[in-house]
């Protein structure tokens, strides 16, 4: 009986396919240099993650997403090292791939990489994910599991497009202070969070306090 209670109180870890991108000493050193410049931190490690950022790949295959993240080269938009990445990629069929360990900082969201996990969805629009039950179910399960594992509140599960109003947003490099992307706007994330709260309640994952949005300073 006690075991049943304990089991009921734990979010179910979804099946995760390990597909690591290369993260050798050079990439770790570049990540630490990035963390110094942008966050004033001297580490490549992801310490005390407080935020989960949902993304779109804006392409239609896991293979091309992996091919974008695996090479350690300057990104096409901001021209900086290390290469961009995300901790997870969820394919359109619902398969969850893990590319980077949860203890490693990954470049996916300007202003939040020091404290955020990144989850990519292979899709061209927020609506495509919300209308794909297999992909959405995997995403909700993965996110609920991370929420419970790290004590991350529902309000700190955000879309990339919400990054600038996160209370955790921090960017020391002035030209990037207002930089964000268009994937996962608030209206779509409100739908996503409503669905996520159902999964979290069912699996006894604490929702935490409401999100504290900071005013847009851009």
Q: Which residues bind Zn ion (CB under 5 A)?
A: 55, 160, 181, 183
Q: Cβ of residue 1: shortest distance to Zn ion, in angstroms?
A: 45
Instruction: Please report how close the Cβ of residue 106 comes to Zn ion at its closest, in angstroms.
Output: 12
Closer of 37 and 181 to Zn ion (Cβ): 181
Q: Which is nearer to Zn ion, 132 or 148 (CB)?
A: 132
Shortest approach of Zn ion to residue 21 CB, angstroms? 17
Closest to Zn ion by CB, 123 vs 154, is 123
Residue 55 Cβ vs Zn ion, minimum distance, rounded to whole Å: 3
Neighbours of 87 (CB within 10 A): 25
CB of 139 to Zn ion, least distance (A): 14
Ramachandran angles phi, psi of 104, nearest 5°: -115, 135
User: Residue 27 or residue 55: which is nearer to Zn ion going by CB?
Assistant: 55
Torsion sign across C-alpha atoms 194, 87, 59, 186: positive
Nearer to Zn ion, 11 or 157 (CB): 157
Backbone angles phi, psi at 107, to 5 degrees: -85, 100
For 89, 98, 131, the CA distances from 18, given in Å and listed in that order, are: 11, 5, 26
Here the tokens at position 58 are: 């804006």
**R_g of the chain computed on alpha carbons:** 17
Q: What are the DSSP E strand ranges found in 12-167?
A: 17-18, 51-56, 88-90, 96-98, 116-121, 157-159
Instruction: Scan for tokens 């409401």, then name that residue.
Output: 210
Task: Tokens for 114, please give them.
Answer: 């020091």
Nearer Cβ to Zn ion (75/190):
75
CB of 194 to Zn ion, least distance (A): 21
Quick one: CA dihedral 27, 156, 50, 195, positive or negative? negative
């Amino acid at each position: 009986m006690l075991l049943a209670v304990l089991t009921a109180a734990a979010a179910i870890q979804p099946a995760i396919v390990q597909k690591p991108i290369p993260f050798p000493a050079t990439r770790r050193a570049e990540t630490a240099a990035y963390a110094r410049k942008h966050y004033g931190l001297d580490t490549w490690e992801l310490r005390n993650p407080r935020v989960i950022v949902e993304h779109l790949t804006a392409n239609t295959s896991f293979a091309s997403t992996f091919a974008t993240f695996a090479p350690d080269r300057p990104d096409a938009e901001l021209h900086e090292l290390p290469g961009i990445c995300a901790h997870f990629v969820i394919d359109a069929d619902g398969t969850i791939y893990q590319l980077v360990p949860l203890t490693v900082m990954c470049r996916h969201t300007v202003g939040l990489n020091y404290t955020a996990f990144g989850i990519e969805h292979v899709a061209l629009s927020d609506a495509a994910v919300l209308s794909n039950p297999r992909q959405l179910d995997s995403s909700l399960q993965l996110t609920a599991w991370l929420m419970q594992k790290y004590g991350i509140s529902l309000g700190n599960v955000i879309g990339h497009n919400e990054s600038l109003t996160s209370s955790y947003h921090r960017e020391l490099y002035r030209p990037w202070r207002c930089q964000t992307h268009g994937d996962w706007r608030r209206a779509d994330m409100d739908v996503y969070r409503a669905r996520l709260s159902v999964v979290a309640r069912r699996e006894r994952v604490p929702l935490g306090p409401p999100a504290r949005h900071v005013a847009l300073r851009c």
